[in-house]
Structures are given as C-alpha cells and as structure tokens.
Structure 1
Amino acid sequence: MSISEALWFDVRRPDSSDEASLLDWRVSGLDHIALLLGVTHVIVAIGCAFLLSSKVTGFSFDNPLIPAGLVIALDAAAAAALHFREKANLASHTLIRGLCAYLGAVGLLWIWFGLAVADDSFILPLSAAPIAMSVGIAMGAIVSIQSPPLIFTNMITSALAAIALAGTTIIPAAVIVLSMALVAYSIAGERSFIATGRKRLNLDAEARKAVNFVDEFENSGRGWFWETNAEGTLSYVSQQLADDFKCEAPELLGRQFTDLLSADTSHGKTLGFHLSARFPFSDVVVTAASDEDIHWSLSGNPIFDERGRFLGFRGIGTDLTEQRRSEQEITRLARFDSLTGLPNRAMMRQTLDEALRNATNRQKGCALFLIDLDRFKNVNDTLGHPVGDALLRQVADRLKSVMGDHGQVGRLGGDEFKAVLPGTVDIGLLESLARTLIEQVSRPYNIEGHRVVIGASVGVSIGDPGRCTADSLIRDADLALYAAKGAGRGKHCFYEPSMHSEASDRQVLENDLRQAIDKGELWVAYQPIVSAAGEDVCGFEALVRWNHPLRGRISPDKFIPLAEECGLIGRIGTWVLETALEEAAKWPDNVRIAVNLSPIQFNDPGIVDIVSNALNKTGVRSSRLELEITEGVFLAEGETTDDTFARLKDLGVRLALDDFGTGYSSLGYLKKAPFDKIKIDQSFVRGAASKTSRNSAIIRAIVTLAESLDMDTCAEGVETHDDLHLIRELGCSHIQGYIFGKPVEGEDARGIANSSRVEAEGFQCVREPRQRLMRRALASIDGKAVEVRLRNISAMGALVESDRAVAPGTRIAMDIVGAGPVEGVVRWAQSGKFGIQFNDSFQLSRLAPKKQKLNDVPMLQPWYVGTGQKAAS
C-alpha cells in the first residue's frame, strides 16, 4: 500500500467488503478516543476553574471556562456517537471523518482556552496556559496515533496552538517536526495494520471455505471426519458418526476411538494394529459397537509435528450400512418378485433344475404346476393397477397356503405363477392340490371395498427322473395349461402326448396359412347389407374365407386368431382390402363395401397409407369404403389412436363400430371416435322378437343413442321375419343377415348389386332347439302309470306318443328316463300322440349323455410311481 493510500484509507469509502471489514476493525480501536480526551479536558478545566474561581466573572472572550465547557460538550457528543454508531448505522469512514472534524473543533476550542488562560489579567502558577496546551496536544496525539487522518488533524491544531501561544518560532517548528514524525509513525503503523489485516482476511476466507467444505461433505452423507490425540482418544468427531450411537458429538470426545468399534471382527483388530503402530490405513471395513448392524469404511493418517512427535490420527469415515443393505436388496430382487415376495422366474428355474437333479439321484419324479389367473385383466382394466397389485399379493398368500410343504410357489410375471413339487408324483395328491388351488384362488377377495372374483387354470406335468429336462417339463405344463384354458377355464389338466401333437398341428396350420395367399387358397365372400326402409342393397361386408387343400374349409374363428398371433393379420388384411375394393369398383357407385380392420392393423403406423394406396389403385370413391373397427382398438389405445382416426376421416372413409354391446363396450368410445355407424351384435338381434327376450329394449336404446349422435345403425344376424319386423319397428337403418342372403362370391355379389333389391326369405319365427332322439318316460295318466315315448323335445314342450288317449288341458307328470321328472299341460291330442307344454323351462342338457369329466380322465401311471405293497417295499 502506498503512503497516500495509507494516509487516506480511513476516510475513503471502502471499495470492497474486505476493506470495509478492515475499516470496521480500525474504528473498534477508536471507541474510547472521545472518552479519554473528555477526561483530560474535564481534569484541566476543573483545575483552572478552581484557580480562577475568584477572578473570572461573567461571559466574555477572556473567560476560559466557556471554551472548556464547549470542549467537554463536544467530547460528550463524540462519545455518544461512537457508542451508538451501530444503532445509527454509521459507516466507518463517515465516523472517522466526523472524528477528524471533532479533533479539529476541539483543537481550536482548546487554543481559545489556552489564550484565555494566558491573559495577563490572570496570574497562574507554573504558566498554566502552556501546561494546558501541552496536555491537550499530548492527549490528542495519544488517542489519534492509530489513524493517519486523525493524527494529521491533530498535527494541524498543534501547530496552530504553538504559533498562537509561543513567543518564538523555535517552539512551533519543533511542534511541527514532532507532529510530522507522529504522522509518519501512524502511516507506517497503518500500512502494517492493513497488510496484516488483509492476510488475516485471506486466512479467514480460506478457513471459512474449509469449514464450508467440511460441513457440506458431512451433511451430504457421503462421509464424516474423526481425529484422535496421541493417547488415541477422540478430539474431533462428526455428528453423523455420533448419530449412529444416538448421541451428540461432544459426548464422544475423550473416549478411545477403538471403543466405538466391535472387537469381535478381524477388521477391527486390523484397525487396532494400525492405530497402535501409527501406520496409515485406507478403506478398512469395520463394524460399529452398536446394537444395530452398522458398517463403516475408515481411512486415516498419523499426525506428527515438525519435531517428529506423534500428535494423533486424523481421517475420514464412510457409512456402508445403506450400501450393504442395497446390495442385499439387489441380490434379493434378482431372486425374488418385488410385488409378492415369491421367488421370481430365474429363481424358480434354478429350483426346478435342482429338483430334477435330486429326482435323478433319488429315482423319484418331479411335478410342475403352471398357474394362470382367469379374468385378472378385467380387474386391472376396471379397478386399476393398484387393486390388481393388491389382488396378486393375496393370490400369492393363498397359493403358498395351499402348497405348504409340498412344493415351492413362484411368480413368473403378470398373472402367471409356477409351483415346483420335488418328489411328488402321486396323481391323487396332485389332483387334490390342483382342485384345492383352483377353489382357494376362486374364493372372493375384498380389496379396498371392492368384491373381486377371479379364477385359475392349472397345467400339470410330471417329470420322469433322468429322462426329462427343465425345458421339456415347462413345455409340457404349458401345453396342459393351454388345454385347461381351452376346456373352459377354472380347470386343471395333466399333460398328455396328444397335446404335443395338437401344438404341432397348430404349427403346421400356421405354416400353411403363411402360404395360403400366394397359393390362392384365401378368397373373399360378400354378404349383402340392406336398407331397412325398402330392402335396397346399399352395401356388402367383405368376409375372408380359407379353402385348405387337405382340410377343406377352415372357419375364420380358427385361422383369424392364429393370424393375429403369428403376425400375418396385417398382410391378410391388406390383401382383403385391396381385393374387396377391386370387386367394389365393378358395382354401382351407390353401393358401399365394408371391410373389417383388426386392432393390430389399426395400430399399424402405416394403415392410413395402406388404405389411401388401395383407394387410389382401384379408383373407388373413399366415401364408398366403410372400415369396421371393434373395441379392441381402444383396449390397446396408444398416443396415436386419435391421430389415426383423424387421418382416416380426412381420407373420407366411413367408420363403423362393430359388435357393439359385447365385451367392454363403453359409451366413451362413441364420444372419442368419429364413427358413422354402429353395428348391433347378432347376440342381441337373434330371437329379439320373443316375448321372453329383453333384447328389444337393448336394441331400442342403441338406436336412440345412435340417432342422437347422428349415426346409422345396422342389425347383424337377422334370420326370421319376426325379427325383421321388430328391427324395422325399432328404427334400425340397415339390416344384415341370412334372411337377405348368405355370404357369396364376387360374381354373385356383382349380380345382387346390379339388381339393387333382394327379398327376405326365411322362417317366420325362431324355433326352439329340439332334441330329436326318442326318449322313454313313465307318465301318470288318470292315476295310472303308462310308458310313453317323447320326441322333438324342446325347452317348452315335446311330442308324446302314447297308447292311451288324453284330452287337451289334462295335467300330466312324467319321469323321463335319465333326465328326471317334468310336469306339463296337454295342448293338443290326436290318435296315438299329443303335444305337452312344460310348466317350467326344460334344460336340454339333462338329455345329454353323461360325459367323463376332463379332470377324471384316467392317467397312465409312470413306472416310477409305486402303490400298495410295491411302494411300501
């Protein structure tokens, strides 16, 4: 720092916070300047007042008590300003400026005091004026020596006082020289002070940074610090370490560091050796001497002074407890299902491998259950995934309860479970476990106030020790599960070799389907769609058919799901679309063509381009194409669903919601998607005219809804005139069914389209299903038991052949052989026969022969399953 900067540092506005801090330190050393000067001034003034009390009277310039009083008042004001500077929020440089003015004013008043005392009218001993002036100048120099601006101000007033009171020039010159020396001394001290202060500020800043780094490190939880003295007792410890012992850090100070470590570990003994031998160590894992399972990783270095004396250890520690828990959790998650706590797929595979190895050694078989929950997807779709998760946890508990010690249950994922039963091959026990399992899983669940009912299907396979692998056992159980679900769900099924052949046959059929288009085996049939008002043909629905060269005609219900599973539905759907449009191009322009679009096709990102290219290729107006879409599109709804609907509508094609009223039909579909037509499923149409059916009310509601939304309606499956008449009365706009024609080939469809009209042909009403085989029965006629024969048995009645004549209106009770008793009324009678109407609806299933249940099919007992005395031996 230069001399000029040092001279004016105290009165200049600080440029930085560090300079402001230095200036604050300097001002704190001037707190008592006014007090010291005031005491000096009071003592001198009292002395002068005592000596001059008899000579001084009145208020005049020559009265020394007047300047003395003013000086003392200034001292008091300056002392008050220094005392209350923080409350008054006075800046340090402003305060020193004020002190300079204060010293200047005091110096001038003290000169006045000296001049008054030195007046010839007062005769004071020992030359009081010079003494008073010297005392004031000396005390001013003493209190202002710390600040160059203050000592400089004092120098000026001292020089003025010397000039005013001295009779020669020597004294003022001496005073000026002495004052300049004091100023130089003060400047030198100022420079030293500022240099030292700046170093101190730098050290403080570094210290604060170090403390902040330590605090941030400790608070981050990544580690903590510790320090011991030469005796091994703790002199510093972080609060994080103290938290492991549930105490405050100061409570651990003075304790031996080794007391905090568990002594029964080899790592703890290793650390003790390092501490006693004063060797540095790194990443030593130890266990804390705590009731909880706490692990630390410690690193430390010995500390020595410049003379080589050992001062202790200083180091860092890291809490490994959470890390170890995380590693254990990761290991657990790798082997167990996080939702149910059951072993996962990998763990169950390991269990199965071990069970088969053990079975080979012990020559005992191993059984495998594959369990699939029925209707679980409905729960997720309707009640949400949280309820579904809670349901899976309860299912897991029931499965474990059923299996008990018989086997290990695990979850494969989703709603699939597996159970491995090592050494268990007894058919009776396996059947009992499977039935109990299905029964327990099918019991109602109560989840968050909802009553949930699901079911289960089970596939069972038995492993031949030493002759089967885990893969083959899983494959067999999977085939058995497939058969159980195909048998109606809620069943269990044992693997049979025929199942493998069925799966192979399915694979062969899939391969044949892949070549069916190229070989020309697929063809498109067209079923008329008629206007309800005038029976005019307004369109056709395109339906794909497959004529297999060896199997003959294969039902779409069989090969369409297969095409969806194996990824062929897109190719087949595109072919049907193009073929149907090519045929529609040959029809009158007012006849539409309806083509089914599967959910897989709809979710294809290129479906809009496929439809557009087919329209452009065939030249058919887009408004003539009607795409029929099922609700499956919405069940797999993604982010692009709405965009696909919008782009299809931009093409100008019509959209129809197919099979409305079945499955998960939701009114929300009609709100979200721009449909032009609703197709009422045939399950509501067939038999709607029956007086016992509620279907007419459902159809009426759908038609009303469609009219409100400005949509057309089409009733599917109309076969009788009664149903046709009802459909027209209910207001359906279009009709499709066998009454107007079955699906026909393209050439026949072309003829129907050109003729523009079709006539309704079919039965007047729907006849009840009838059992035409003859059944014997014993009837009570006129109180006598008579053997009769029943033919054309339906749910409402039957034709009865009898040797005894009966009259219409007669009530008859009879017992049908193999079906049980029925009662009814004779409605008509002829010679040798009469018609009876049953009082209650008769279940035709009672006439079916008793079939052997799927679960009761006898199983071939493996060679290694022993029974009776052979098993006992």
Structure 2
Amino acid sequence: MWKGFGGQQSEPVRVPDAEAVAAKLAKVNVSDRERLQMLECFEKSDIAWFWATDAQNRLTYLSPKALAQFTTEREVIGEPLASVFKTVNVEHDETETKPISYMVSSRTSFVEQPVQLVNEAGSAGTGKWWELTGRAQFDKKQDFIGYRGIARDITDIYEEQLNASKLAEFDSLTGLANRHRMQRRLETTLNAYRIEKRSCALVMMDLDRFKQVNDTLGHPAGDELLRQVSQRLQSIAPGGAEIGRLGGDEFQLIIPDMDDRGRLGEIANRMIQMISQPYSVEGSRAIIGTSVGIAIAPYDGIMPAELVKAADLALYAAKGGGRGQFRFYSNDLKENADDRREIEEDLRDAIHAGELEVHYQPQVGTKDHKVRGFEALVRWNHPEHGPISPATFVPIAEDSNLIEELGALVLRQACKDAAQWPGDLRVSVNVSARQFLNEELPNLVEKALQESGLEPRQLELEITETVFMGDMGTTDAMFAQLKKLGVKLALDDFGTGFSSLSYLSSAPFDKIKIDQSFVRGCTDENHSNHAIITAIASLARALGMATTAEGVEALDELEIIAGLHVDMVQGFIFSRAMPQDALLEKLGSGELLFEPVGPAKHRAERRTLLRKIGVVHEDHHYTAMLRDLSRTGARIEGLLDVPVGTPLVLDLGEGQIVVCVVRRSQDATQGVEFETPLVSNGAGGLCTRHRVSPYMLAAAGMPLQALPKGHHLAAVAAAGGGSGPQSRPQFMQVDIGAGSSRAG
C-alpha cells in the first residue's frame, strides 16, 4: 500500500473505467445532437428564428428561413444590425420609439421589439415586419461579446393592427385624421411645445350650405362632395399641417410653429377661395362655401380644450359675420358668443309672443317717383336691449333653425297688411333658401293668401341665388308650383352670390334686384359698378324682367340709376321702412308720390376709431387716444409736442405691440408710421402679425396663461430688465377724451 508524505495513509487513486467514460461521452453526444435537431426543427417550423451579433453588433448568424426573406443578392451577414432593421411603433401612437442602434449600443436587452426590414437603399420599404428579442452576452471577464436572440415574422399581425389603427384614427370617407386622432395630436403637440416654448395654430372650419346640397342631391352626393373638399384642403394646406375631419362638415388643421397672423390670414383666404369653387357631383353642379376660425397657442390658449374653445368661438364669429370669412380669436368673442346665445333664446320667445313687427320700405318708380309696392322687413324692439338689427338676429335665426318660423310669420303678416292697402300695390317678402327647400312652402303661401284675401299677383317672393346650388329638378318643380299660384318672383341680391345666365334664362323671374353693393361707387366714372348696373339692366330688359336698385341714398346715385334705365329704386333717399299704421296714414291721404331727400353726393362710409392705447418712449409709459388706424400708420393724441422722427412703441392691447416713428406732429396730435404693416383680422379691422408671447410674460412673473385683456408693455419691460433707474420723461401727457374738439 502506498504511503504518502508525512507518514499519513492516503486515499487510493481511482482510475476511471474506460468503458464508462466512453458510454458517458456517447450519451452527451446523443444529447447535443438531439438538441441541435430540435433547434433545427424549430427554425424550419417558422415559429421563430435565431440571430446573433458580434461585439461590434454586426449580424453573425440568422436562421436560413429568415435569410430567405431578403433579396438573394444581399449579404446580410456581416451588416450592422441597425442597417438591417428599423424599429417601428406597432401602436401607432405619439410615444417615441428608440432606434435599434441606440438599444444595441447601450447593450440593453429588449423583448418583442417590432422592427421593419430595411432594403438595400437604407429605407424601411420591404413591407416585412419582424419582432426581435435579444439579450446582451458577456464573457467570463464581463466583456461584451454580442447579442443572441430570436426573431418572429409579425407581418400579418402588424398589417392587421395597422388597418385597425387606421380605422380607429382615420376617417373612412376622406382618409383624413378623425376627431380622436386630432384630439390626441393636439394634446401631444401642445404638451411638448409648452416645454419648448413654441407656438401652434389651430384652424377650425365648416362648410356653408353643405346641408342644402346634402338634402337636395342626397347623401351619396354629399359624401362625394366631402371627399372633394378633403382633396382640395390637402392641396393647399401648409407643409407639416395635420388635417382632420371631425365629423359632418367640420374640418380642423393643426399647424405647428405658426403664429404669424398675416400668413394665417392668407392661408384662410386661400382655403375659402378654393372651397368655394364649383364642384361636379354626380352630374350636378354644387357650390358651397366655408367659414374659418383661427386660434394660436400659447396666445389664445395653453391647454388643448382652451385652444379648441377659442377656435370654435372664432369660427362662430366668422359664420355670424356673413359666412365665407375668417376670424382670429380675441377676448371679445366670448362676450359676443354669450350675447348671441341670449339673442337666440330671446328671439325664440319673441316669435311665440308676437314681439316682432313687420315694417315696409317703398319701391319707387325711377322716373316718376310713384310708389309701386313695398318690401316687408322684420323689426325687433327688444324689451330690455332696445332695437336689434336684422343683420344681427336674422343670421342667428338661420343658424338656430328659427328662420322658417320667422319667415312664415313675416309672410302671413305681410299678406294681411297688404290686403288693407289701396289699389294694386305689391308687397315683396323675402324667402330664405331653407324655406324654399321646404316642400310645404306652396301650401304656406296659398294659405296666407286665402286667409288675408290678398290677390296672388300682389305678392312677390324675393329669392336669393343660393337656391340654385341644389338639385335643379327640385328647384324647377318649386318654381312651377309657386308660379301656378299666380305670385310674382324676384331674384334678390343679383350678382353677389353664384350668378349664372343659364338659370336666369330658365327660371321664371319677374324682377331682378340689383344689390346695394353695386350702387355704391356707381357715381365714380372709374368704378366698374357703373358698367355692371348697365349690363344687369340690359339683361333684364332682354329677358322681359323689371329691375329694382337697392340701397340708394344720395341724389347723385339716383340720377345715375335713372339714367341707366333701372325701373325702380329702393333706399333711404325715398324712405326708411315704416310700420303699418304710418304707411296707412300716408296711403290714406292718396299720396302715392315719394320725394327724394338725401345728400347731394354719396360719401364713402367712414369708421370712427376711438380707444385708449399705451405708448412707450425710452423707459416711460404714457396713455394716448388712437384716432385713426391704417395698415402702415395711425393718428394718436395725448402727448404734447413730440418731435418728428421720435421712435415710439404702441401697445394696442391683447399683446399687440407696434414699433413706429413720428412723421407728423402738431400740439398733442402725432401721425406715426409703423415699422411693420398691420394685417387683416378677418372682421374688417387690423391687427399685428405677432403678439407678446405669454412665455415672455411668465418670465416677468405673470402666470403662464393665454393673453388676458389689457396692455402688457410694462410686464415686457420688466422681463427685459427695465426696472432700473428711469430717466426724466421728455413729453407732457394731456387728457384727450372722446369729447375733445380734436375728435372729429
């Protein structure tokens, strides 16, 4: 027995049995072969594939079936993983997806990451989507040696989710983003831009008179019209804008990094012009319009709901201003919207309570000044607010579906009153497009005639050109029914809408009314309105129709109109609209002549502008009165003896700051020239292109919010470090009020 060192007895050394070792090795080899066979079978089954990279993240292995999905000419093995795959977001939301190059460079593991195969040109255009799972591998020294992972083809699943996402986020009719997607995009954009102090414009629009086309031509035609509208919008929208259809005839645009109101006004005008061009829909000609409301973050709203409400109010104001217009949001619009809602509620009550009156304006022969008839005009003397203009409450009636009820009231009252007039005087009653489309209109007219006893030939229905936008068959049928009753038909506001000689030659009109917009300026030899009136009067005579010129106010206008062979005149030059009792008193005396009374010459309407503004010179703030305002300058009063050439800064309110130079100065009145011209505000007024940013005001210590009312130059100066020692003021401020002699 072997004796070990130290005299201790050692354990016997066991010599391995050669046969046992061979059996064990054979068993291991069998196990490895089975494992390899299983992995190979797994790869071939297309359940999943294997992939691997080296330490430089170059692809070193990819299952054969996976390799087969690339073009045979491409050597994928050896390429960087990031040049083979591009990460995608299978949820299609706005959350950022890290590129695969970032993930592998940071050596983080990832699970079921959707990727798209990149083609040889370096873009994701193969139409194949995979799902990668990878785990970073390290050797015993913890040195990175590459990735090992599995891949799975998810093309079918991805495309199914893509289609489902498209259905969930895009309008199936137009292909535009739907309300859900637009809400999410706006929220995401505003949240990011609030941090980055960027701006974003929100444009709201809906179609004017779309419902009429939908009702007359049918819903399939309405759908086709919406598709054509969406195509036009996509062709004119600025780059980077997201366009959505919110439902019905409502559309929305999100325009990132846009706060230039001059540029936005141009975009809105182009949209209005493009949308208003005629459409060919199922063989019919359709003409619609659009109104546009614009709000800009952060000036008009910080949060999404706030900005949407501001854009809605601007759109509401555009529609209330006569449609086919745009409006920017301002703080006054909320008060105006509240007033409109109150007027709508009160108007509904007024109609039912009989508070509305019908007054009558004479239509007088141009040559003999003898009255031929009267136009019925509705008037409303509100018990609390006094007289409310029809220009205010009639559009509200149209928007709130009260126009048919209001129109029926005026028709019945006009027939009843006209039956008391002597002779064969005619009464003209306006019929809205909505009334005209109602198949009950002939029955309503017939009943009004029967109840009043008025002869049908004494009733004239004034119809606007908008009735021709719908189905011509329906329109012609309505004309035939009305003419069968024996009433007269007049085409109102000719030339201001969608004039067409084709319908003039076929529609059974007895009269054409020349809109007052053509009367204005007809005395100017260089103005085209003179020629337009001549053409309309000649056309009417050729078609056997009479003509009436509306809105004549001055003697020189009356002289011109009479010389152009217009048959009748209506306007303040002869009389304002009068109530029935005053009219009966005049007619009862046998006086059928109206003498013209008015200014000798027409004067262009002048708008009086009078409001307080802030003025800054150096580090001093003054208050002045703004008297006149144009695109390039203004007249201000309130600072005494300001030298010509003095630079000033005007605070027009609501963040509108204007840099200017004094060009004329006399006593306390200065004429200033703007460094940057103003732009249209869409409401006939002017505004600055840019405004003081709420981010700047927040830097001065104000809360981050939409621009409040008032003047903000003091806060701007504080933000710019202008709170230090001040110099002595150079100008004396004088009190110039509205009653000043200079106010003319």
**In proportion to residue count, which structure has more strand?**
2
* Correspondence for 1:765: 600
TM-superposed CA distance for 1:337, in Å, is 4.9
* Correspondence for 2:233: 392
* Correspondence for 1:620: 454
Contact 2:300–2:329 (CA<8 Å) still a contact in 1?
Answer: no
Q: Distance in 2 between matches of 1:629 and 1:439?
A: 33
2:135 is equivalent to residue 331 of structure 1: no
TM-superposed CA distance for 1:388, in Å, is 4.9
Q: 3-state SS of the aligned residue for 2:427?
A: strand
- Provide closer, same or farther for how the CA distance between residues 287 and 343 of structure 1 changes in structure 2, counting only shifts above 3 A: farther
Contact 2:554–2:598 (CA<8 Å) still a contact in 1?
Answer: yes
Q: Kindly provide the amino acid, as one letter, of the partner of residue 296 in structure 2.
A: V
* Correspondence for 1:863: 703
Q: 3-state SS of the aligned residue for 2:593?
A: coil
* Correspondence for 1:582: 416
2:505 is equivalent to residue 671 of structure 1: yes
TM-superposed CA distance for 1:560, in Å, is 0.3
Q: Distance in 2 between matches of 1:772 and 1:463?
A: 28
Note the 1:210-225 alignment, pairs <5 A: none
Q: 3-state SS of the aligned residue for 1:431?
A: coil
Q: 3-state SS of the aligned residue for 2:439?
A: coil
Q: Kindly provide the amino acid, as one letter, of the partner of residue 391 in structure 1.
A: R
* Correspondence for 2:629: none
- Provide closer, same or farther for how the CA distance between residues 323 and 655 of structure 1 changes in structure 2, counting only shifts above 3 A: farther
Q: Distance in 2 between matches of 1:579 and 1:455?
A: 34
Q: Distance in 2 between matches of 1:477 and 1:619?
A: 51
* Correspondence for 2:659: none
Q: Kindly provide the amino acid, as one letter, of the partner of residue 460 in structure 1.
A: I
Q: Distance in 1 between matches of 2:687 and 2:514?
A: 38
Note the 1:677-756 alignment, pairs <5 A: 677-754=511-588, 755-756=590-591
Q: Kindly provide the amino acid, as one letter, of the partner of residue 655 in structure 1.
A: L
Q: Distance in 1 between matches of 2:718 and 2:228?
A: 51
Contact 1:288–1:294 (CA<8 Å) still a contact in 2?
Answer: no
2:299 is equivalent to residue 458 of structure 1: no
TM-superposed CA distance for 1:395, in Å, is 3.2
Q: Distance in 1 between matches of 2:407 and 2:270?
A: 42
Q: 3-state SS of the aligned residue for 2:362?
A: strand
Contact 2:205–2:315 (CA<8 Å) still a contact in 1?
Answer: no
Q: Distance in 2 between matches of 1:769 and 1:436?
A: 29
Contact 1:460–1:492 (CA<8 Å) still a contact in 2?
Answer: no
TM-superposed CA distance for 1:350, in Å, is 3.2
Indicate which of 386, 390, 408 corresponds to 1:556.
390
TM-superposed CA distance for 1:666, in Å, is 1.9
Q: Compare relative contact order (CA 8 Å, sep 6+) and give the higher one, 1 or 2.
A: 2
TM-superposed CA distance for 1:420, in Å, is 8.3
TM-superposed CA distance for 1:370, in Å, is 2.3
- Provide closer, same or farther for how the CA distance between residues 542 and 864 of structure 1 changes in structure 2, counting only shifts above 3 A: closer
Contact 2:199–2:259 (CA<8 Å) still a contact in 1?
Answer: no
Q: Distance in 2 between matches of 1:750 and 1:438?
A: 50
Q: Kindly provide the amino acid, as one letter, of the partner of residue 454 in structure 2.
A: V
- Provide closer, same or farther for how the CA distance between residues 545 and 337 of structure 1 changes in structure 2, counting only shifts above 3 A: same
- Provide closer, same or farther for how the CA distance between residues 767 and 537 of structure 1 changes in structure 2, counting only shifts above 3 A: closer
* Correspondence for 2:345: 511
2:94 is equivalent to residue 266 of structure 1: no
Q: Distance in 2 between matches of 1:770 and 1:717?
A: 13
User: Structure 2 regions of 5+ residues with no counterpart?
Assistant: 1-39, 51-64, 71-125, 130-153, 214-224, 278-289, 609-662, 674-679, 706-714, 721-744
Superimposed CA distance per residue, residues 373-413 of structure 1 (whole angstroms, 9 cap, x where no aligned partner): 699999xx9xx9887554322334x241xx6xxxx665546
Note the 1:535-614 alignment, pairs <5 A: 535-614=369-448
Q: Kindly provide the amino acid, as one letter, of the partner of residue 254 in structure 2.
A: A
* Correspondence for 1:306: none
TM-superposed CA distance for 1:627, in Å, is 0.2
Q: 3-state SS of the aligned residue for 1:634?
A: helix
Out of 341-350 and 644-653, give the one that drifted further: 341-350
Indicate which of 481, 487, 495 corresponds to 1:661.
495
- Provide closer, same or farther for how the CA distance between residues 748 and 415 of structure 1 changes in structure 2, counting only shifts above 3 A: same
* Correspondence for 2:479: 645
Note the 1:296-335 alignment, pairs <5 A: 328-329=162-163, 331-335=165-169
- Provide closer, same or farther for how the CA distance between residues 464 and 643 of structure 1 changes in structure 2, counting only shifts above 3 A: closer
- Provide closer, same or farther for how the CA distance between residues 660 and 711 of structure 1 changes in structure 2, counting only shifts above 3 A: same
TM-superposed CA distance for 1:534, in Å, is 2.9
TM-superposed CA distance for 1:331, in Å, is 3.4
Q: Distance in 1 between matches of 2:358 and 2:571?
A: 17
Q: Kindly provide the amino acid, as one letter, of the partner of residue 394 in structure 2.
A: I
Q: 3-state SS of the aligned residue for 2:352?
A: coil
- Provide closer, same or farther for how the CA distance between residues 639 and 353 of structure 1 changes in structure 2, counting only shifts above 3 A: farther
TM-superposed CA distance for 1:436, in Å, is 5.2
Q: 3-state SS of the aligned residue for 2:537?
A: helix
Out of 636-645 and 607-616, give the one that drifted further: 636-645
Q: Distance in 1 between matches of 2:599 and 2:315?
A: 45
Q: Distance in 1 between matches of 2:395 and 2:600?
A: 33
Note the 1:372-383 alignment, pairs <5 A: 372=204
* Correspondence for 1:830: none
User: Structure 1 regions of 5+ residues with no counterpart?
Assistant: 1-258, 270-285, 296-319, 422-428, 774-813, 822-844
Contact 1:368–1:418 (CA<8 Å) still a contact in 2?
Answer: no
Contact 1:460–1:481 (CA<8 Å) still a contact in 2?
Answer: no
Q: Kindly provide the amino acid, as one letter, of the partner of residue 384 in structure 2.
A: L
Contact 2:362–2:574 (CA<8 Å) still a contact in 1?
Answer: yes
Contact 1:578–1:614 (CA<8 Å) still a contact in 2?
Answer: yes
User: What is the percent sequence identity of the aligned residues?
Assistant: 37
Q: Distance in 1 between matches of 2:255 and 2:445?
A: 51
Contact 1:374–1:489 (CA<8 Å) still a contact in 2?
Answer: no
Q: Distance in 2 between matches of 1:445 and 1:678?
A: 28
* Correspondence for 1:478: 312
Larger radius of gyration: 1
Q: Distance in 1 between matches of 2:607 and 2:716?
A: 47
Contact 1:629–1:657 (CA<8 Å) still a contact in 2?
Answer: yes
Count of residue correspondences:
478
Q: Kindly provide the amino acid, as one letter, of the partner of residue 431 in structure 1.
A: D
2:259 is equivalent to residue 431 of structure 1: yes
Contact 2:201–2:258 (CA<8 Å) still a contact in 1?
Answer: no
Contact 2:407–2:431 (CA<8 Å) still a contact in 1?
Answer: yes
Q: Kindly provide the amino acid, as one letter, of the partner of residue 392 in structure 1.
A: L
Q: 3-state SS of the aligned residue for 1:640?
A: helix
Contact 2:206–2:251 (CA<8 Å) still a contact in 1?
Answer: no
Note the 1:82-481 alignment, pairs <5 A: 263=44, 265-266=46-47, 328-329=162-163, 331-337=165-171, 343-352=177-186, 369-372=201-204, 388-396=229-237, 398-400=238-240, 410-412=244-246, 416-419=251-254, 431-432=259-260, 458-462=294-298, 471-481=305-315
- Provide closer, same or farther for how the CA distance between residues 756 and 626 of structure 1 changes in structure 2, counting only shifts above 3 A: farther
TM-superposed CA distance for 1:699, in Å, is 1.8
Q: 3-state SS of the aligned residue for 1:547?
A: strand
- Provide closer, same or farther for how the CA distance between residues 579 and 771 of structure 1 changes in structure 2, counting only shifts above 3 A: closer
Q: Distance in 1 between matches of 2:458 and 2:465?
A: 23
Contact 1:367–1:462 (CA<8 Å) still a contact in 2?
Answer: yes
Contact 1:287–1:294 (CA<8 Å) still a contact in 2?
Answer: no
Q: 3-state SS of the aligned residue for 2:202?
A: strand
TM-superposed CA distance for 1:583, in Å, is 0.5
TM-superposed CA distance for 1:644, in Å, is 0.9
Out of 412-421 and 754-763, give the one that drifted further: 412-421
Note the 1:838-853 alignment, pairs <5 A: 853=688
Out of 504-513 and 412-421, give the one that drifted further: 412-421
- Provide closer, same or farther for how the CA distance between residues 455 and 592 of structure 1 changes in structure 2, counting only shifts above 3 A: closer
**In proportion to residue count, which structure has more helix?**
1
Report the TM-score, using the length of structure 2 for normalisation: 0.54
